[in-house]
Amino acid sequence: MASRRVNTNRKRALTRRASPTLRFAGRVTAAAIGILIVTLVGIQFARAIGENLAAMQQLSQLRADITALRARRDEQQRELARLRTPEGAVPEIHDRLRLVRPNETLIFVSPQPPAPEPPAAP
């Protein structure tokens, strides 16, 4: 009979409900954990978006740099093609190296000095 009492006491202890305060505390804890998880996920998502925006801006800047470098390369290639012809090379030889062909004369023209200002009337 003593064993029946022990079994019934155990059954009562297992079937007895928790107090309303404990249930409320459990629900608040579960809600707080849920809010914490959602907040952490949101922070990570915002950080990922910020990194993507920075990478997109850097990519745009790099594309602009590439376009400028290609334009510069094309200009330099045109300049090289011009200097490979006698019509383009001769003026550069005259201007930069100050060389002339036989029976040619190199004339330097300097700009006219500015005219003096008339004196101011007293």
- Domain locations in the chain as residue ranges: 22-97
SS (H, E, C) 65-102: HHHHHHHHHHHHHHHHHHHCCHHHHHHHHHHHHCCCCC
Name the percent of the chain lying above pLDDT 90. 50
- The pLDDT-based confidence of 110 (bands split at 50, 70, 90) is confident
- Has residue 7 got a pLDDT over 80? no
CB neighbourhood size of 69 (10 A): 10
- Has residue 1 got a pLDDT over 70? no
CA dihedral 48, 49, 50, 55 (to 10 degrees): 90
CB neighbourhood size of 93 (10 A): 14
In this predicted model, what pLDDT tens digit does every residue of 56-77 receive, in sequence order?
Answer: 999 999 999 999 999 999 999 9
For residues 119 and 117, give the distance between their C-alpha atoms in angstroms, rounded to a whole number: 6
Contacts of 98 (CB under 8 A, 6+ apart): 106
Q: Which two tokens stand for residue 75?
A: 């200009």
- The pLDDT-based confidence of 51 (bands split at 50, 70, 90) is very high
Mean pLDDT of the chain: 86
pTM exceeds cut of 0.75: no
